[in-house]
Amino acid sequence: MHGLSLSRGALLALAALGAACEGPGPKEGATPAEVVATVNDRVLTEADLASQPATRGHQQGRPETREAVLDALVTEELAAQSAEAQGLEPDARSRKELAQLEAARVAARRRGLANAWYAQVTRQALQITSTEVQGYVAAHRQELRREVHVVMALRRSEAELRTLLGALDAGTSLETVLKAESAGLPGTPWDLGWLGYGQLAPAWRPVLASMKPGQVSEVVKGDHGRFWVLQLLEVREGPEQPPEALQAMVQQLLGADRALPARAAAEAALREKGRVVLGPGKSR
């Protein structure tokens, strides 16, 4: 890889000589503690050192040292600067590697910006007033104290649950069907036990609120392509919570209920305003 072999002292002296002649150039985002060397006008950092591939010593089975890696990095930088001065260009393999690295850099930046945007959308959705919280508590006071014992069937296909409901109409109980499907599995995963209001999926709350013990729901559609059939086994009244705890729970519930719809609406607005042109033969 390196056509020239110099001692560490000679390499660093050469780097220092070049730096003294041309002056060091700043590297964006680098702090003094992160700088490992200045080669002519180029600053090399801990990140450069960490990305340096193995040197010949490592390939020969000898343990790598920080000094050896730094020597190799300085030599490579000097060679690269000389190539630039002569107008040389990277070979095809290096150009491909550079393109891949640039694509990864762009993807990381895009991901970071998108995450910041989603965080902003969520923060805006979570701006819930005390008046809203108090109104929700007043409208759902009984439900908030209600605890339910639920059996659940979860599927990714609504048609599967329609078939299951057909079997129930023929006289088979939901628990019998689910027990047969889960034969050999430990426990009773279909039986969720007692759940408080705050533990219910948003799509379940209005359904269970209208059901009586023993009843089986129609197909309930949730987010992320999930479908359920629920059976309400028992109902009981839970302990009364202090007003502060109740309001904190409702604040959290309202935020969770609003976050996904707010995100979906914001995404739809972006796509509506955006100009998207796909490549030939691509479908949107």
Give the per-residue pLDDT at 66.
85
pLDDT category of residue 232 using cuts at 50, 70 and 90 = very high
pLDDT for 219 beyond 90: yes
136-239 architecture in CATH?
Roll (3.10)
pLDDT for 56 beyond 80: no
Give the per-residue pLDDT at 164.
87
**Alpha-carbon span 12 to 214, nearest angstrom:** 81
pLDDT for 84 beyond 50: yes
Report which of residues 224 and 236 the model is more confident about: 236
Give the per-residue pLDDT at 244.
86
Give the per-residue pLDDT at 26.
46
pLDDT for 236 beyond 70: yes
Give the per-residue pLDDT at 125.
81
Report which of residues 173 and 100 the model is more confident about: 100
**Alpha-carbon span 188 to 185, nearest angstrom:** 8
pLDDT for 60 beyond 60: no
pLDDT for 62 beyond 80: no
Average pLDDT over residues 77-104: 93
- Which of the residue ranges 44-48, 198-202, 252-256, 266-270 would you say has the lowest mean pLDDT? 252-256
219 neighbors 162 (Cβ within 8 angstroms): yes
Mean pLDDT is highest, among 5-9, 98-102, 137-141, for 98-102
Structural domain boundaries of the chain? 8-85, 136-239
pLDDT for 24 beyond 60: no
Neighbours of 42 (CB within 10 A): 19
Average pLDDT over residues 17-22: 39
pLDDT, tens digit (0-9, with 9 covering 90-100), for 158-210: 998 998 888 887 777 888 888 887 777 777 878 899 999 888 988 999 999 99
H helices within the chain, ranges in order? Answer: 8-22, 46-51, 56-59, 66-85, 92-125, 130-139, 141-145, 158-169, 174-181, 205-209, 243-273
Q: What is the mean pLDDT of the chain?
A: 82
Give how far the C-alpha of residue 193 lies from the chain's centroid of Cα atoms, to the nearest Å.
Answer: 30
The SS3 of residue 280 is: coil
